[in-house]
Structure 1
């Protein structure tokens, strides 16, 4: 027997040994898993049967939550920022002071305007007396009509000068008042754009405010689905921050025209947020109700949220079978299941923590 033949036989022997060891390992692992499942004590669960029921049909859309009132508040004045009184997340009331500007130059201008207004009022009084005197002289023939008319014109223009000077004084005083930037409504501060020492102009953003409480859900509807959107129509939505939780609202405002660039229409809904969980700016996945159709339904208590997905525990051949499902519309305590179960399947009503796939059921 030559050396090459011996080498091939040795390699074949080693390969067969490796395959035998691998098969033995897999068999051992499968045996261990079977032993583990067999050793796990059966659990007692309350089950119910998946049934079909009329559930709302819905149109899947996306949107963004907005405050009922929100604004980037501008300075409406010119000057250096002397003080700021709010931080991001602060709650403010209407009229609360948000920032104060250096308005010394505006104050000097206001003082000058007020002095000019006082001067024109004094000149008006003088003009009135002159008019009375010249009227008496004219009636007595002591002066000509031309001279009388010249003084009479001055008397008529004097009140106009007073009005103009008073308006300038008020505008200057307003500029001084605008140096104290105040909240226009009850709100939360979402952003502060200025700090002490910065120079701002009339259109400079100072703080961003959003009203507390009521929220709006702004969303777009494709042109082909416009017939499904009606004022008062119900919708539900979810947000990534609260997987497994659904919020509701009603359509209140529908845009008057379709946008040519995107071929869609903007609509808004009033949102119910009883515990203040939602925040403006959140992205929302919306289900807009368009009617009803039969659908498999399960109690809400049967659904468990895990890693942003909905799970159910079915009972098949007296063992637990965990399933990832796609949920749909809700009505009362029922939730439509679009994918993952069928009518007639047995599911666990209130899954206990620690329930595992493959676990035996009593």
Structure 2
């Protein structure tokens, strides 16, 4: 084989390889174009992230309390005969909650009433004696000293009557306390006694909380006291409803900083129109302390997933899902502390099927 023949064959093989490579690239490009053409594009409603003055807030924690709460004590001694409520029962002021065996107190009350009646009779006798001795003194039949001795008895008799009447009322009160009644309208949070138990004056019978109005009790660090003022607005969330935000207004501020914890206790009135909140709930609070320019987005753009807030942005005509940190809310606007900047494009009503990387029409 000559030199020229070898070169010619090598050139032919090189041309064939180049042709095959070109055909392969063309095939890949065609496949890529086909895939791009087949990829589903989505139509979304978008808006730009705008900057607006939003409330600046102080992060605090607190606990919800009933407007009125009490651990109702027996205020009597005796064995529990009956209970009339269970946990969660709604009661009205004056409703009977439990009844005690107060037969011993009833006997004491009867004795006290009898003693009171006896002292009243003795007072009447003493009064008649005083009238008689006064007449004898005026007629000169007795001396002044003898008259004064009887007069002293007459002056002390009303005091004995008053003391006996007070003892009778106290004994009767003990009998009445054997019927334990609700001091206000509310809901039974806990019942502490059962039939057969023996209770004393300080024994807890039921825990009662009022319905409707709630208070949010929270503590403010000493360094942040200047931010808390009566009438200040706050928002808060509770673990039971992580996607909801509730509002309140600061009404009561403690008079002194606690030395042990270096904080101040304050309370706010809470709005709970649908009764979703319960006393004892833990609350994460955002206390408004002023306004600061912040990127804001419509509330409808926020998608909660796995306890975090997500937004869908549009970058180079493709969907880009982001995890963002949200701040306070003002009307329908939500401040975004981290994750997007003012001027970026977001999807304002994302569907559940929307995914990261999808092309936008």
Shorter-normalised TM range? 0.7 to 0.9
Identify the residue that residue 310 of structure 1 maps to in structure 2: 309
Q: Which residue of 1 aligns with 2:235?
A: 236
CA contact (8 A) 1:287 1:329 kept: yes
Give the Cα–Cα distance (whole angstroms) in 2 for the partners of residues 75 and 53 of structure 1: 58
Alignment-derived partner of residue 319 in structure 2: 320
Q: Which runs of 5+ in 1 are unaligned?
A: 1-34
The answer (yes or no) to whether the contact 1:315–1:346 under 8 Å persists in 2 is yes
Q: Supply the RMSD in Å over aligned alpha carbons.
A: 1.6
Structure 1 Cα separation of the partners of residues 71 and 35 of structure 2 = 62
Deviations 1:248-286 (A, max 9, x none): 111111111111111111111111111111111111111
SS of residue matched to 1:335: strand
Tell me: CA distance 1:203–1:340, structure 2 relative to 1, closer, same or farther (3 Å).
same
Once the two structures are TM-superposed, the CA of residue 147 in structure 1 deviates from its matched residue by 1.7
**Cα distance in 2, alignment partners of residues 88 and 162 from structure 1:** 46
1:116 maps to which residue? 115
Equivalent pair of 1:319/1:361 in contact (CA under 8 Å):
yes
TM-score by length of 1: 0.87
- CA distance 1:75–1:155, change in 2 (3 Å): same
Q: In 1, distance between residues paired with 2:36 and 2:197?
A: 69
Structure 2 unaligned residues grouped into runs of 5+? 1-33
1:16 counterpart residue number: none
Mapped contact 1:300–1:334 kept (Cα < 8 A)? yes
* Aligned equivalents of 1:186, 1:39: Cα separation in 2: 67
Residue in 2 that maps onto 1:42 = 41
Equivalent residues of 1:80, 1:101 under 8 A apart: yes
User: TM-score, normalized by length of structure 2?
Assistant: 0.87
Shift of 1:40: 5.9
- Quote the offset at 1:36 in angstroms: 10
Q: Deviations over 1:74-125 (max 9, x none)?
A: 1111111111111111111111111111111111111111111111111111
Between structure 1 and structure 2, the one with the greater Rg is 2
The residue number in structure 2 matching 1:266 is 265
**For the structure 1 residues 141 and 341, does the alpha-carbon distance in structure 2 shift closer, same or farther, using more than 3 Å as the test?**
same
1:308, CA displacement in angstroms?
2.4
**What residue number does 1:65 align with?**
64
Distance 1:40 1:63, change over 3 A: farther
Partner of 2:117: helix, strand, or coil?
Answer: helix
Q: Which moved more, 1:143-152 or 1:244-253?
A: 143-152
Cα offset, 1:41, TM superposition: 2.9
Deviates more, 1:306-315 or 1:187-196: 306-315
Q: Answer yes or no: is 1:155 the counterpart of 2:154.
A: yes
In structure 2, the residue matched to 1:166 is 165
Alignment of 1:70-149 (within 5 A): 70-149=69-148
Residue number in structure 2 paired with 1:191: 190
Contact 1:240 1:308 in 2 (8 A): no
Structure 2 counterpart of 1:359: 358
Could you list the per-position Cα deviations for residues 189-208 of structure 1 after superposition, in whole angstroms to 9, with x for gaps in the alignment?
A: 11111111111110111111
1:141 deviation in Å? 1.8
Mapped partners of 2:309, 2:353: distance in 1: 16
Task: Give SS of 2:319's match.
Answer: strand
Distance in 2 (CA, whole Å) between partners of 1:38 and 1:145 is: 130
1:298 maps to 297
CA shift at 1:142, angstroms?
A: 1.7
Shift of 1:145: 1.8
1:157: Cα distance to partner? 0.7
In the comparison of the two structures, how many residue pairs are matched?
A: 328
